[in-house]
Chain A
Amino acid sequence: MPNNRKYNLTVSPDFKPDRIAGWYIFNTWLQKKTGLDIHLELYDNFEEQRSAIRNQQIDLIYANPFDTAMLVRELDFKALVKPADKADEAVIVCCEDNPANCIEDLREGCRIIATDDPDINMIGMRMIEPADLDDSNTTTTQVANYVVLAKRLISGDADIGFFLKEAYDDLTNITKRRLKVLVTSQISVIYHSVLAAPSLADQYESLSQALLNINTDAKGPGVLDALGIKGFEAMSEEDAEFMIDLMETLRD
């Protein structure tokens, strides 16, 4: 049953800039579908978003897997759905003329360039361990997005870059020709998900149903297209717990 309360939706700040419109379209669609009054609040970075979450300003979130543990285990959010066919994979890239051909060719003092995307950065740090590299013998520069990251890597500001695979694949061919992939993760069980706060407890079912049936809704395919998502799949409590335990093994 709809009610007259106001809710806030937010989105993991790692979305591509050209998807902003898509999230507004999604929010409008979701409000029509559920009859709920939902406001979309976007944050520039993860820190701002986390403090809003901790201040109970967020009711619904398309969350980065890195934050799922906090949301589910500390703040009692419930996992509703995950995007179909869309796991988060990381790619470690260097310049095309870098003599390194694999991770083991990297050396102490390696200069990393990365965005603030927390799950990709965590996977990236784990994937350089075979070269005995970690926080103590590397330096990391943070940039605003993956396009800037590629540019700075090509201009020699860093030795390697951590990319979300999807963002790397989206670079132009001209850019990709100047870069070389050292390793690509194939983890397949780390993904973003839609989580709802206890404030939405009476709406869990209707929200899940709306999202699971989005493909068969008249406007649904257009909304999905704007988000770059194929559809949503059910996510059980245990699916979320499994992913949280797995992420926990990768934190150190």
Chain B
Amino acid sequence: MSEPVRILTGRWREPDTVWIDRYLETGGYEGLRRALAMSPQEVIEVVKASGLRGRGGAGFPTGVKWSFVPQDTGKPTYLVVNFDESEPGTFNNRELVERDPHQFLEGAIIAAYAVQSHTAFIYCRGEFLWPGRILERVVAEAYDRGFLGRDILGSGYDLEVVIHRGAGAYICGEETALLSSLEGYRGQPRLRPPFPAVEGLYASPTLINNVETLSNVPHILVNGPEWFRGFGPEKSPGTKLFSVSGKVERPGNYEAPMGTPARVVIEEMAGGVLGGKRLKAWTPGGSSTPFLTAEHLDVGLDFESIQAAGSLLGTGAIMVCDETDCMVEVTRRLLQFYAHESCGKCTPCREGTWWVVRVLGRIEAGAGRPEDLPLLDDQCTNMLFRGFCALVDGAVSPMSSSLAYFRDEYEAHVREHRCPVTGRGPGLVAEQGAREEAPAATTVPSWADLAEELG
């Protein structure tokens, strides 16, 4: 086992580094000093040269994105930090903020400087009460020490930071929905184009980056792009923080260079499958990325390799299922998440997720029909890339991949009217289904009814 790399997690072993004194003692804000000594354009070039790619899911080259933000538009330019982290299985942003918040804040200030933004918003997931408090404190610290506010470090550059709390919707992590929410509207995605870089927040140029993406930036400024490219493969340089959860011995965030085989992360870092059981399925990048199986454990965890294996690196959230997990149940539960989080704007997502949850639930409960499997296949086709945003594509991932890899399990449910894995029959499942879905499965409580009841 090779020496673990610690870049993003370098300060994690020391609890004190949460606050600014220790952060400064450990080289903090050096990246910002270097950035401010350069022109914004030079900073962008450095980040471009590093090959850093966005960690929020799509993997878009960060420096290129920065260079898309137009200058001299006569409008303000905004930086928005996407800290809505809600993808199931993903928790690296949260720990990055809880353990080393100044690291990403420094990255954010550098990013803002690079695009010449003077106002930055941090969109913090609503449920993140504790990380939100930490954010408030570290932002105050940064103001106190002159890393935020007017004339930062005597450079003449000004930046104000506003922390905004979300209200608990997964869709608000999608960048355009996030902007709507930030503006005080319903969190629903907007048409692109215009792209946020050109017409984002308040119809002004806006750069949106993920917390993990920004956490890399100070290190790139301090150590240079070549150093950064020293980790990981050519097209996916750097390290990645993998959130490992599910049936493993030691769930948690593990930093490893991009391209590290999944087996290393799951078996060595996270201690292998819980109780020594057999691994059945895993997601490489959260619930929105297609399942892979034990066969894929030697695939490198980087954008290209995972894609070649038929999935996506997504957020790098590895969720592990073992041989005792029923894949129909797992899929139903995940789809229930998407049905719940669908913003409702577009038909294939809103109605499609509603429908397949019910079909999956029926199969799970032993009431599946042979024609349900082709029906689900069809719905995968009818939902994938048909929605307004990528949420529905994410919803299709677990369904299409489990139907592909574990079709026999579905078929057994239909044939035997019970779960071939857990042995549960209709009674048990029905009871559980009732608990989870309640009779509300058919009656949606409405705001208007509620309002009426309240008078």
Question: Do A and B share a complex?
Answer: no
User: Which residues of A approach B to under 8 Å, CB–CB?
Assistant: none
